[in-house]
Amino acid sequence: MSNPALSFKVTRQAPELVVPAAPTPHELKHLSDIDDQEGLRFQVPVIQFYRQSHLGRSRDPVGVIREAIRKALVHYYPFAGRLREVGSGRKLAVDCTGEGVMFIEADADVSVDEFGDVLQPPFPGLDELLFDVPGSGGILGCPLLLFQVTRLTCGGFIVAVRLNHAMADTTGLVNFLTAVGEMARGQPDVSVRPVWCRELLSARDPPRVTCVHHEYDQVEGTIVPFENMVQRSFFFGPDEVAALRNLVPPHLTRCSNFELLTAVLWRTRTVSLKLNPADEVRMMSVVNARHKFNPPLPKGYYGNAFAYPAALTSAGELSANPIGFAVQLVKKAKNEVTEEYMKSVADLMVLNNRPHFTVVQSYLVSDITRVGFETVDFGWGKAAFGGPAKGGIGAIPGFIVLYIPAKNKKGEKGITIPICLSTEAMDVFVKELDGLLETDRLAGDTPKKKTTPLITSTL
């Protein structure tokens, strides 16, 4: 497991701006009406660990990656600009000024192996590995990307990145990082040409909301308290998934692992919070809509192209019913996303002043197991770990939960899911989850291996 008690020193050079390697157009490019909703106006931290490799041929990763960013920005030149609001209705546009992205060179007196035998968030010393340069973290008028490349004592290195989410989703960020990797490996051109075309996800004229969007309901109430919060990461491999699948009725056994795990964790989390049975609870899942369009969005589209449809029920119904009840709700919500649904969301943004999605008694999950962070290669091979630097993203602890590709000590592939709850709720959560995994009593199976918290950290 990762080593949460690890302590090390990071020496950073002065931050600098890295500009495109060649002249780029100076123009104003509007974001889509999916991009500039209130719920995407925040920074996303990503971290990539790389081990020493003969492939690097003793090259300096800092210099190689800095120069590769310059070359990639020629193709992705909007990233070198700055966001501003234009006109009425808080519309976002990127002013393609070519000012560049923030870059930090650093060294740390630590090796990759010291981070533990299983690399996964939360990572110790993250604030030092991805330094928040004063004045750089705003949404408007600030660098849209921040890179910190940190050399390690073992010859490996860490690439930490912070993205202004309004500019791109995780698929779009991986597209850009892949392009940086291709430039770093000496390729003459990017393999996938970036595509702007944000008008494909902009509101219609006139705008018209044609679908139900419970994810944007304006709900009164309190958010889960932040006091005494802890984070634990849970690994779900073949054994754990099989045990949970045995709890689902036959007509639902073909549900995806994502649908199964989301249903189980939503129900277990709701039980642990000890809500009023009459309280309305929501599950929202991030659904990539690129292939929901006809024709699909261009392969190089790097803007935000997803929705988070909501499943609704009461805390009492969700807790009292078997897992199959929650699975059906999750499947139904996911299937609501269509091309028309996306257009309806864009129209809703314009008509309702770009509202934030509902956070009261909500649970939002995002599966990034197939996004491809770990495949990004700067010339040293694939990442030992690639993905989110934290277990969740956004300003509200524990609200957005990420499903991260991982392996256990045996090398079995699975999913790591960091959960953030109060200490009291976490104790109930672990007990409930272990109870589900311990045995399938109805089928009379032999006890299954329990899941165990891999990391505990106080937030």
pLDDT, tens digit (0-9, with 9 covering 90-100), for 346-389: 999 999 999 999 988 999 999 999 999 999 999 999 999 999 88
Say yes or no to pLDDT of 451 above 50. no
**What is the model's pLDDT at position 91?**
95
- Contacts of range 26-30, beta carbons closer than 8 Å, 24 or more positions apart: 26/96, 26/97, 26/98, 27/96, 28/86, 28/93, 28/94, 28/95, 28/96, 29/78, 29/81, 29/93, 29/94, 29/96, 29/196, 29/198, 30/86, 30/91, 30/92, 30/93, 30/198, 30/199, 30/202
The winner for highest mean pLDDT among 226-235, 237-246, 395-404, 437-446 is 237-246
Chain segment 234-286, per-residue pLDDT in tens: 999 999 999 999 999 999 888 999 999 999 999 999 999 999 999 999 999 99
Burial of 125 from C-beta contacts in 10 A (0-12 / 13-18 / 19+): middle
Longest dimension (CA), the chain: 69
Q: Which residues are catalytic?
A: 165, 377
CATH topology of domain 10-194: Chloramphenicol Acetyltransferase (3.30.559)
Question: 214-372+387-458: CATH homologous superfamily?
Answer: Chloramphenicol acetyltransferase-like domain (3.30.559.10)
Would you call 50 helix, strand, or coil by DSSP?
A: strand
Token pair of 332 as six digits: 């139904």
**Strands 10-12, 101-108: parallel, antiparallel or unpaired by DSSP?**
antiparallel
Q: Which regions of the chain carry the CATH code 3.30.559.10?
A: 10-194, 214-372+387-458
Report the half-sphere exposure of 290 (CA within 13 A, side-chain side).
16
Least confident among 128-137, 195-204, 372-381, 441-450: 441-450
What is the pLDDT averaged over residues 176-191?
97
**Residue carrying the six token digits 């790591």:** 416
Average pLDDT value for the chain: 91
Measured CA distances, 113 to 77, 130, 149, 233 (Å): 36, 19, 18, 19
Of 393, 140, 363, the residue nearest 272 (C-alpha): 363
**What is the model's pLDDT at position 75?**
98
Q: What is the pTM of this model?
A: 0.92
Would you call 237 helix, strand, or coil by DSSP?
A: coil
- Give phi and psi for 25, each to the nearest 5: -60, 140
**What is the model's pLDDT at position 24?**
98
**Strands 43-50, 157-164: parallel, antiparallel or unpaired by DSSP?**
antiparallel
Give bridge partners of residue 122 from the DSSP assignment.
Answer: none
Under a CB-based contact definition with an 8 Å cutoff, are residues 282 and 333 in contact? no
